[in-house]
Amino acid sequence: MKVFLDSIGCRLNQSEIEKFAQQFRAAGHTLVASAAEADLVVVNTCTVTAKAASDSRQRVRQAARQTQGKIIITGCWATLEPEAALALPKVERVVANPEKDGLVASALGRPLELFDLEPLAREPLPGIHRRTRAFLKVQDGCDNHCTFCITRIARGKSRSRSIAEVLSDVRAAQAGGAQEIVLTGVQLGAWGQDFASPLRLHDLVKTILAESDVARLRLSSLEPWDLDERFFSLWADERLCRHLHLPLQSGSAATLRRMARKTTPRAFRALVEQARSAAPEMAITTDLIVGFPGEDESEFQESLEYVKSVQFAGGHVFSYSPRPGTPAERLPGQVAPGVIRQRNAQMRAVFEEEARRYASAFIGREVQVLWESAAQVGDGEWELHGLTDTYLHICARSDRALWNQFSRVKVEALEGDELTGRVVG
């Protein structure tokens, strides 16, 4: 079946249709770029303003004129005005927001459980909903046994997609207009190690860079122990984004041992040094857990001081909470919630300071930005938001809507967590 997905409104609506897209694709259906080609049209509506509601109705009528197939409507407007939605031409069904997760399953008459196991990665949609970045899942599952983690239990052992499959997705994403590809996986760094003739992530990245002309390639989170010596030579190619997200989880060696993480503060520091010698301005970000069982004040202070010393470009702080079925749930020394909240605030303040320090170093310089959004703010004036390869958020004004294009920007200031600047080329 050929399916056309349309969306009005916010990013949430957009991300929902990307999930529908995945599910339709996973079930063997094809996404098309217009209602005219489709056997089924799904419209995700909006009602944030009267105009959005009217645009939603208009979009459905437009689709009805073009398609020979049927239409399903969902989203906020359809939820608030189901009778009006159902009365529109060729509308077969209205799916209210609370039932939205099961929309594709019910449209295809398949059990919802089948879809829960499908990849979470996003791929660009054909037609008007092309995105600047395409998230390609290249690996699933994990072979580690971190004691706090439920993901491994839920996802099973590491499985990798073949180079040929990934290359075909890269080409599809580029054909869909994606300028940046982000490789994702639960344990991305384990890619290829489950093959009969094992490969490493290095081999996959090298092949993608050699066999595609993708403008930017970004790697999502990588466990620090999964990177080998050869890995850092990849940054000889400037298309590989200078951004590494390396989850540390704690800066205390004792806490890391209880977490069963396969790294130490010393090994992590050596890795950071290697990364910085490969690309001196590499943005290194991390995840950190506070309040893990047995983390006393001295371990927490050790962790805090370590984080300061690494000079990350930013990080996410998670307050530990026991997940049923994990070994950490049964560890002694569970930390009181109030103490965890305090530690979270302290650690967060350190990361915010480090992020400001990293971003401020770019003030006065020219950087290359890929614009992720362009909103008209005046007569012939657009506000653009985008990202550098080092994952800095940049805002600038322009007389053109440069969405999904690259620009040179002269960085002028840091406002909140975003840099502002001027488009210079």
List residues binding ligand SF4 (CB under 6 A): 142, 144-146, 149, 151-152, 186-187, 223
- For ligand SF4, the closer of residues 124 and 189 by Cβ is 189
Neighbours of 124 (CB within 10 A): 24
Which residue, 333, 313, 334, 310, is CA-closest to 322? 334
- Rounded least distance, CB 326 to ligand SF4, Å: 9
Question: What are the φ and ψ backbone dihedral angles of 389, each rounded to 5 degrees?
Answer: -65, -25
- Rounded least distance, CB 160 to ligand SF4, Å: 15
Contacts of 308 (CB under 8 A, 6+ apart): 350, 354
- Rounded least distance, CB 151 to ligand SF4, Å: 4
Which residue, 73, 85, 71, 61, is CA-closest to 38? 71
- For ligand SF4, the closer of residues 208 and 222 by Cβ is 222
- The answer to whether the beta carbons of residues 409 and 393 sit under 8 Å apart is no
- For ligand SF4, the closer of residues 37 and 223 by Cβ is 223
- Rounded least distance, CB 142 to ligand SF4, Å: 3
Q: What is the dihedral of CA 117, 121, 126, 132, to 10 degrees?
A: 170
- Rounded least distance, CB 284 to ligand SF4, Å: 18
- For ligand SF4, the closer of residues 149 and 370 by Cβ is 149
- For ligand SF4, the closer of residues 63 and 142 by Cβ is 142
Which amino acid is located at 399 in the chain? D
- For ligand SF4, the closer of residues 152 and 239 by Cβ is 152
- Strand, coil or helix: what is 17? helix
Which residue, 225, 299, 235, is CA-closest to 268? 225
- For ligand SF4, the closer of residues 126 and 192 by Cβ is 192
- Rounded least distance, CB 304 to ligand SF4, Å: 21
Neighbours of 330 (CB within 10 A): 10
* 336 CA to centre of own chain: 32
- Rounded least distance, CB 228 to ligand SF4, Å: 17
The angle subtended at Cα 322 by Cα 349 and Cα 147, nearest 5°, is 95
